[in-house]
Structures are given as C-alpha cells and as structure tokens.
Structure 1
Amino acid sequence: MSFSEKIASIMERPGQDPQSQDDVPWWMKYGARAMGTVGGFFGILFGAFSCLTIIVASIPGFLSGVTLIIAGLVVLTGEAPCCCIFLDFVQTLSNIIEKRPYWNRAVLYCGLAVLPLFLDFSFGKFLASGLIFGTGVLYGMMSIGKKASIDEMRSAAVDSTIPTSSMKGNLVENAQPMSFSNKPDSNV
C-alpha cells in the first residue's frame, strides 16, 4: 500500500464509497478536507480568544468571536466529524453536509467565513476566516468540474466562427462616415 493510499484511507469517512463518483482529483478533495479541519480548529481557538474581549466591554468583538466559534464548529463537523465525536448531533449534521452538492458547501463556508469579519476585524479572525473561506473556494472549484482535454479545447477553437449578426460582426458595417463640421459661431 502506497503512502497516498494510506492517507486516503485515513481521510475516508465511515461508509464512504472507495471509488469516487465525480471527476474531482483526490488531492483537491483531501486538501479541502484538511484545510477545513485546520480552519475549523483555528476558528474555534481564535473565536474563544476573541470572546475574552467581553472583559473590556467589546460587544462586537464578543459577537464576532461567537460567530467564528459557530463557523469553526460547522466546518469541523462537516469536514472531520471524528474531531467532534463527543456531540450527539455531529454524525447527523455531517451526513446532511456530505450529501449536499459542492456548490452548497462553497456558499455555506464562504458565508460563514465572512460574517465574523464584518462584526469585528483582527488578525486571528482574518487567519481563521481565511482558512474557512479557502475551503469554500476549493469546494467552489470542485463544483465547476474538470477542465476539458487539450484536443477538445483545440477542436472547439477551430470550429468556432463569429456569426455576422453578432456585435463584432456588424460593428464596422454600421459605422457612420466621418464628416468635417465647421467651427461653431461664437456670436450665438
């Protein structure tokens, strides 16, 4: 068993089909899962640290910390449910997130990452939200799908022609002739 197969077997979810049904590369799938796990941990850590700002009566800092903890917990639950096994609802929430298409996860993670930064900005929140947002971006890239092969792109470029009814096709034909007009009268 190779090293990459060992890593893949560790990162698999229980009951997951070993053969992927989509065309997403394995490194992108596990990279998004790893980034989400690290981002979730940092979100919970920096969110808890930000909640300590309630001592100096910083309500936006406290609310931002709470939303970052919630975002980190949701991402950690979706990407690495084994880290939150002490919570009863984790497997149910993880199954719901796992069944959703990639673009749903992208929107959820990006939305959760931006909210704490609107409430209060700090470097720790920026780092944790950046990792969560990066996970959403990776899921967004996975939802776009695989790029076409070079032969398919080459044949599509050769076969494409500009129709005459397009804006570029008739722009020069509809051009008005240039004419010279006299200088306006200054008496008017």
Structure 2
Amino acid sequence: MKKVLILSGLAMTSLAYSQGILIVNNYSKYDFSGTLIAGSTSAANGCYPRVGNTDIVKIPADSHTGNGKELMYKDYQSQFTNSLYPTTTWEVYQNPLNHTVMSWDDPNLAPGGTISTTTQWYATKFSTSLLEFHANLALITPCNPNSMDTYTTPSGNEFAEIFTINGTTYLQLYSL
C-alpha cells in the first residue's frame, strides 16, 4: 500500500509540473514572429532544462481562438500534426553549456517524458511585422524574478501579455 501511495504521489507531482498547453492569441493587426520557450521554473535545479523552437514561429495578424486561427501546442510532439503553426525542431538546453537540437518526434520530447514533465511554457522573444514592436516576455518565477510579463508600447498602450490559468499558458497580442 505504501508503494502505491508513493507512486501515486510521484505521478501527481509529475502532472503538476507538466508542460501544459500553450495558446497564442494574436488579436493585433501585426504578424507575430518569434520563439516560444518552455523550461523548468525551479531554481533548485538551476532552472533547466529549457526548450525553444529552432525556426521562427509566424502567426498572422488576427489569429485567435475567436476565429480558430490561434497557435495551440498541447505538447512538443502533437503540435507538429495538430497545430496550424508547427515546429519541426526544438533546441533543448540541459544546462547553459549543453544543448541538443531534437526533431519534433524525438522520443525524449514525448508526453510524460522527462523533458515534458519538467518544463512549462513561460517565455517568448518576438517581433511584429515591419519590426513595429519587439519584446521578451516571461512569467515571473523563481528563475525569472525580474521578468516582464506585459509589454507596453512607447506610446503607453499595453500590447502583449503572458499568463497562466489552470496549467494553460496564454500569450496574447492586442490591437492598439
């Protein structure tokens, strides 16, 4: 009985730290071009591993859940066949000096595997069409205590934000 409780607890802990879903809603009039990043949010393990797309993801203007054109990644692997904006390869950093490029179907990126259960979507580096705006956004975590989770344009308008609700991370760009 004790072993069952321990295994159940470990399974629940793994699920609690799984990468979750990423949804990018681009309500703006600008095309989004950028990198989407997942990683460990625990300073205890040096904030690694970290995972990011190797090719720039492009999301057209006015692409969001309201019209069914949002970017949605449920995990590193299924996004390739289920997303409107698939990523073919991921750059995986195990530490600052050791990284590997992995194909979307690499077994190391499988749902329930070590990488997917120890990383969460938390950041983006992006620019918009015509280079109107560019920013780095990240959730504020022990690994990113001084991050910006919103981007405000020089004219004072909030343009982008990143946040998490019930394990789903949202990146939203707004019209000005």
TM-score normalised by the chain length of structure 2 = 0.30
Q: Which has the higher helix share?
A: 1
| Higher-Rg member (1/2) | 1
Higher RCO, Cα 8 Å, sep 6+: 2
